[in-house]
Amino acid sequence: MPATPPPAFDLELSLDSLEKLTELNAGLIYFAHFGATDRVRESIDIAKDKLKTWNTIISQTFNEENFEAAFKKIRAQLYSELEPARESESLYQYLASGIVAMNVTGFLKYFQDKKTRIEMVKQ
């Protein structure tokens, strides 16, 4: 699960950074708190796909409904992505108790800021 912490998460910058990591052709990648993997390309691709999926969910909800609806939809998506972690109760609790809320908040703040910038340009 990629991190999208507030107050300064930026989707475009995150995707660009992940692309730069891909270009390094590293044989190993280390994740803070979670250890290392040699499945570098796969891990980066998963992170990019998740960010794009979350962006789609939030952008559609923001356009069709409201902030609260977007919050509920993206939170539900993130909790569904945590299901495989239920095998390790301590890992699941760590992710569910803090990481989900942080990611939801960061992504929604990014979206609110983006919407504000667009509205300012229109004026």
DSSP assignment of 15-70, as one string? Answer: HHHHHHHHHTT-S-EEETTTEEES-HHHHHHHHHHHHHHHHHHHHHHHHHS-HHHH
Residue 123 lies in a domain: no
The single-letter DSSP state of residue 88 is: S
Q: How many domains does the chain have?
A: 1
For the chain, 123 residues long, give each residue's pLDDT as a single digit of tens.
Answer: 788 888 889 999 999 999 999 999 999 999 877 789 999 999 999 999 999 988 888 888 876 667 778 778 888 888 888 888 888 888 888 878 888 788 888 888 888 888 777 777 877
Tokens of residue 108, six digits: 């929604």
Q: Judge whether 31 lies within some domain.
A: yes
Say if 2 falls within a structural domain: no
Distances (CA, A) of 22 to 40, 45, 51: 8, 9, 16
Question: Does 107 fall in a domain?
Answer: yes
pTM for the predicted model, two decimal places: 0.78
Residue 6 lies in a domain: no
Evaluate whether residue 52 is within a structural domain.
yes
Domain of 58, in residue numbers? 11-116
Question: Residue 122 falls within a domain, yes or no?
Answer: no
